[in-house]
Each structure stands twice: as C-alpha cells, then as structure tokens.
Amino acid sequence: MREISRDHKHVKNYHRRFLLSYPATPIQKFYTFLLAPLIIVLAMYFVFRFFPALNSNQPENFSLGDIVEASFATFGRLFIAYVLAVIIAFPLAILAVYNRFFEAILLPVFDILESIPVLALFPIVILLFVRFGMLNGAAIFILFLSMLWNIVFTLVGGLKIIPKDITYAAKVFGITKLSYFKKVILPGVFPELVTGSILAFAQGWNLTIVAEAIHTYIPGGVESNDLFGIGSFLVHASSSGNGTLFIYSVLVMVVLIAIMNLFVWQKLLHKAERFRFE
C-alpha cells in the first residue's frame, strides 16, 4: 500500500496530463478544419483593411515564396530542436522513474529548471554560440530548452501510469532492456508523448520570434545578424511598420501550423487512443 501511495503522490505532482482529442463529429471537424482557419484569415484581412496605419510604410521587395521559404526554415529549426528534446527527455524520464535515488533528486530539479524562464538564459546562450559563429545553434538550443520540459514531464507521467501488471508480465516472459523499451515503454507512453510533443511545438512556435531576432542580444548587433525565418520576418515587419509583410507572414504561419495539426497531430492523437490506459 505504501508503494501504491507513493506512486499516486508522484502521479499527482508530476504527471501534468493534458487530455487532447481529435475532432470526431462532423461539427467538430467543420470547426477545426474550416471555420477556425477561416475566422483567423478574415480577422487578419479586416485588421489590414480597416487599419491602414499598420501599412504606413511601402512594402519592401519580398514575395510569398520568400515567406513560405522562411516558414520552412523556422520549421526546420523547430524539428531539429524537437528531435533533440525527445532524445534527451527519454533517458531523463526513465532514470527519474525507475531509480528511486535519482527520482528523489531529479524530479525536484526538473521542476526548478522548468520554472526558470528560457528567455533569461538566452543572452548567455547567444554570447556563447556567437563566439563560435553558430547563430543557428543558438536558436536551436533555446528552442530545445523550451520544448524539453513539456516532453520530460509528460513522459514521466506516462511511465508512472503503466500498470504494474504489464511490468510484471514483461519480467515473467523475459522481456528486458531494449525489448522492454520497444514493447512496453514506447507503447505505454505514446499517448503522453504525443500530447507533450504538441505542447512542445506550440511553445517552440511562440519562441521563434525571439530565437530568430538575434541582433537584440548581440552587443552592437544589427538586423543582418538575424536568422532567416518567419520569426525574424515578423519582428522586422512589426518594427518597420510593414503591415503587408506582417499579415502575410502570420497567414503563412497559420496555414503551416494548421497543415501540421491536420496531417500529423490529429492522426497521432487518433492512433494514441489505442495505447491509452483507462
């Protein structure tokens, strides 16, 4: 009973579970895939149409292709940061759950590290990476930090709720080490991994504006120091009063996020239902 109570306590404190679901009914699908994006597009159009002051400056030479290319450059950084976050999060979560000594040490440390604002570390990160001319590395590293803890805590929660019966059965049938990871851990945490990934990517999109507008963190930095991406496009458009560039950049970003939501996250959420423990 003490063992069960201890696990329940950690599940309560560290299993920050967010129940996300995919649109199942026709009304939900209509809202998610048609009405919601249409509302966003119309809202941006009316802002541009009725507030001409936002576009007081003449548009610079840019094309829709440039904005799309910038969006994919940003997505590339997000994807690299996400892969690194998953690779690091798995051993941290496993170590924190399956070793009582490290569990007592690591979980409180994770909580503290998660509470530290990522942006507080950004100037230090920038200066370290700038010394080696690795501005892309600085952006990816700060995106990695913003994603890591969402994935770590959802994995910890997923590992905590794997039924003991399944663990015992795996031991009885001699499933250990790599086979145990593939046949028990991965399926067991898959729903939580999908949820953590969605939250991590959302956090990453929020930070792209900061991660790519690097010149503000470099002493004597200029806009040419910024990375090519949708985040730096948005910062430049806002600072120069270029409403056209700003609105088109937002629209392209919304479309890219909607496509990823439709063809990646929604399908993974649907698949994750098969592995969820009730």
Say if 151 falls within a structural domain: yes
Range of the domain at 99: 67-275
In a domain, 12, yes or no: no
The single-letter DSSP state of residue 161 is: T
Query: Considering the domain boundaries, does residue 15 fall inside one?
Result: no
Q: Global pTM?
A: 0.80
Contact call for residues 55 and 244 (beta carbons, < 8 A): yes
Residues 46-95 pLDDT 10s: 665 655 544 444 445 677 788 889 999 999 999 999 999 999 999 999 99
Structural domains counted in the chain: 1
pLDDT means over runs of 10, the chain (278 residues)? 40 47 61 66 64 49 82 94 96 90 86 84 81 86 93 92 84 80 89 93 91 79 82 86 81 85 86 78
- Phi-psi region at 31: left, alpha or beta (left = phi > 0; alpha = psi -120 to 50): alpha
Q: What is the CATH number of the domain that holds 104?
A: 1.10.3720.10
Residue 30 lies in a domain: no
Q: How far apart are CA 157 and CA 9, in angstroms?
A: 11
pLDDT digits (tens, 9 = 90+) for 158-174: 998 888 888 888 878 87
| Residue 165 maps to a domain | yes
> How far apart, in whole angstroms, are the C-alpha atoms of residue 233 and residue 245?
8
In a domain, 163, yes or no: yes
Please check whether residue 76 lies inside any domain of the structure: yes
